[in-house]
Amino acid sequence: MKYTTLPNTDIKISKICLGSMTWGNQNTEAEGHAQLDYAFDNGVNFIDTAELYPVPAEAKSSGKTSEIIGSWLQKSGKRDKVVLASKIAGNGDYTAHIRTTGFSPEGLKDAIHRELKRLQTNYIDLYQLHWPERQTNTFGVRDYSHNPNDPWQDNFNEVLHTLDGFIKEGKIRNIGLSNEKAWGTMRYLEESNTHNLPRMMTIQNAYSLLNRVFEGDMAEVAIRENIKLLAYSPLAFGVLSGKYIKGIAAENSRLKLFPRFARYSSVQATEATTRYMKLAEDNNLSLTQMALAFVNQQPFVVSNIIGATNVTQLKENIDSINVSLSPEVLAEINAIHAAIPNPAP
């Protein structure tokens, strides 16, 4: 395994982070524990979850993923050996079953206390805001379209003040963003710098061969401000394993169980995936490892969040840390990207 540090801290994290959003739905508790055991034994010390998980988000399963992690932490006794990240869900119909108070002081208090209980721990190493409360273009929406009737009011300062209180209480150690844009990221940093408030350390956004939108304004923000990317969906819901194109996806694979998750399944995305698969095979690589190695090598990525539904997949994902793409392969990747740019934003 390779390691780096959480930006602006001395906390060592593995370059591969273990994602968990299938546990409690596609995966049982026993399967989640098996993945945690394997990942930890192979050098992964960074685990990411969210109160929303597992996905799809439903009231009956909300928080199950974190409960599975919590039971593993208790059973294994490894809490002090792992770095634990979680998230508060933002407002919206998708999360109304959790709460409707957003990132208000009451909402954050409720979210943090409930998550600590589920995780069976007294602190969270990295606590993230899962997506903006304001209306902006996230989750596959390509362009920003302003809504003058957006009811959101600027609360960046209040959110940071509230989180500062939980940091001082020792319940969270660091804070980060998720599904955020350049404007929101810089506003948080501005408030931190101006008012001596805690600083956002990371941003967790989608990033893969099929979605390189982060390479625009966000990449410059990430590097110049040292608020590095935790890349999620690096395999684009498993599409970049090639299993759907080859017709070998298991019956419990995500897109077979939940076909509405079509973000990475457009005609353009399928064509790009086909080209990437040929490139990988021509260079004696699996598409999975080429796709993950591409993310691992980006200078703005601090850790790559991989997910799997079985240990065989997990092994291949973790082993990608040992793959280094040549300048020639990277040039071919960029040629495909130029021909079919960001087919799944």
Burial pattern 154-189, b for ≥16 Cβ within 10 A else e, equals: ebbbebbebbbebbeeebbbbbbbbbbbbebbeebb
Q: Is there a contact between 230 and 129 (Cβ–Cβ < 8 Å)? A: no
CB atoms within 10 A of CB 144: 11
d(CA 224, CA 328): 28
Find tokens 């625009």 and name the residue: 216
The residues pairing with 16 across neighbouring beta strands, listed in sequence order, are 304
Q: Is there a contact between 305 and 230 (Cβ–Cβ < 8 Å)? A: yes
d(CA 286, CA 283): 9
For the question of residue 188 being annotated catalytic, the response is no
d(CA 319, CA 130): 28
Within a 13 Å sphere around the CA of 121, how many CA atoms are in the beta-carbon half? 30
What does the angle CA 337 – CA 341 – CA 344 come to, to the nearest 5 degrees?
115
d(CA 85, CA 9): 15
Q: Is there a contact between 334 and 275 (Cβ–Cβ < 8 Å)? A: no
Q: Which of 53, 188, 207, 276 is catalytic?
A: 53
Residues designated as active site: 53
